[in-house]
């Protein structure tokens, strides 16, 4: 059984509108899955529901993580188990610096795993954070600024990847992490993700464009239209989508 399994997942908005209409998907360690689909097809809704966002109701089906049914778990409990979501639109947290946010997040996960306070030694934290920031080419002064407050689009995305690198999730869901990045930043971010994918981590990469997939090679590509996966294949499918667009699929479901 894969580390993350979605079984017949249906997700509705608070007003009851169904957006995700029955998704089966299995993501394991050492695998990169790409989900590609047109605007408004429900990709972010799927990502939010995986993380346990309270605004998105799972109305049918289930989410299994490491064999455990996590469908009813709160977002922090999912994070403690090793699920991570990099947001399409990261929120600003005025008053909380990147460093203190990162340390609290790590310590919350450590506490949950140890069953008691088990704070990361400051020195270890600092060393690792500086190393990861350098790798992601994040300027040092950003660490002392309030999280995402006035950050450029590219800075927000890099800091999302920094969180991922620091938290070391088992499954990372990346929602449009490529949008708004210049070509160099795209490479840095993609390499950062690719480095982490391995025996400890698998990734679900939501994207519109083939270009991030030039840097992160997907093992599986899923075409997502109108709340459903309508086709699956290997990396070649992403090239086909780039050439032909989603029209043929959209016409098929219309």
Ligand X SMILES: Nc1ncnc2c1ncn2[C@@H]1O[C@H](COP(=O)(O)OP(=O)(O)OP(=O)(O)O)[C@@H](O)[C@H]1O
Site residues for ligand X per CB under 6 A = 13, 19, 37, 39-45, 55, 88
**Strand 93-97 relative to strand 146-147: parallel, antiparallel, unpaired?**
antiparallel
Inter-residue contact 23 to 6 (CB < 8 Å): yes
Phi, psi of 253 (to 5 degrees): -90, -15
Partner whose binding site includes residue 19, from Mg ion, ligand X, none (CB under 5 to 8 Å by kind)? ligand X
How near is the Cβ of 241 to ligand X at its closest, in Å? Answer: 13
Out of 41, 44, 49, 163, name the contact with Mg ion by CB under 5 A: 44
The reply to whether 45 sits near Mg ion by the rule CB under 5 A is no
Please choose, out of 1-9, 38-46, 60-68, 195-203, the segment that lies near Mg ion by the rule CB under 5 A.
Answer: 38-46
Give the integer Cα–Cα distance in Å for 18 and 32: 27
Per DSSP, helices labelled H in the chain are 43-51, 75-81, 98-114, 122-135, 153-167, 183-196, 235-244, 247-253
40 vs 139, which CB is nearer to Mg ion?
40
Inter-residue contact 178 to 128 (CB < 8 Å): no
Residues 218-237 that bind Mg ion (CB under 5 A): none
Is 16 in a helix, a strand, or coil?
Answer: coil
Q: Computed over its alpha carbons, how large is the radius of gyration of the chain?
A: 18
Residues 78-107 that bind Mg ion (CB under 5 A): 88
33 vs 43, which CB is nearer to Mg ion?
43
Partner whose binding site includes residue 163, from Mg ion, ligand X, none (CB under 5 to 8 Å by kind)? none
How near is the Cβ of 17 to ligand X at its closest, in Å? Answer: 7
Residues 59-78 that bind Mg ion (CB under 5 A): none
């Amino acid at each position: 059984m894969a580390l993350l399994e979605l079984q017949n997942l249906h997700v509705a908005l608070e007003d009851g509108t169904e957006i995700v209409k029955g998704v089966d998907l299995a993501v394991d360690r050492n695998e990169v899955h790409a989900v590609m689909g047109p605007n408004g097809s429900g990709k972010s809704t799927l990502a939010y529901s995986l993380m346990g966002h309270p605004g998105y109701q799972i109305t049918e089906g289930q989410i299994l993580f490491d064999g455990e049914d996590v469908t009813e778990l709160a977002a922090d409990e999912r994070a403690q188990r090793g699920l991570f979501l990099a947001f399409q639109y990261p929120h600003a947290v005025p008053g909380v610096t990147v460093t203190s946010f990162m340390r609290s997040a790590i310590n919350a996960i450590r506490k949950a795993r140890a069953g008691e306070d088990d704070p990361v030694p400051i020195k270890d934290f600092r060393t690792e954070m500086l190393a990861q920031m350098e790798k992601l080419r994040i300027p040092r002064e950003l660490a002392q600024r309030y999280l995402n407050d006035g950050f450029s689009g590219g800075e927000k995305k890099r800091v999302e990847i920094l969180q991922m690198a620091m938290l070391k999730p088992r499954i990372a869901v990346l929602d449009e992490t490529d949008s708004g990045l210049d070509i160099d930043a795209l490479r840095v971010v993609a390499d950062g993700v690719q480095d982490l994918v391995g025996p400890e981590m698998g990734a679900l990469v939501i994207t519109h464009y083939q270009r991030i997939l030039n840097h992160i090679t997907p093992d599986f590509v899923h075409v997502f239209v109108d709340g459903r996966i309508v086709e699956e294949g290997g990396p070649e499918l992403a090239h086909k989508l780039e050439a032909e667009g989603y029209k043929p699929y959209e016409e098929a479901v219309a």
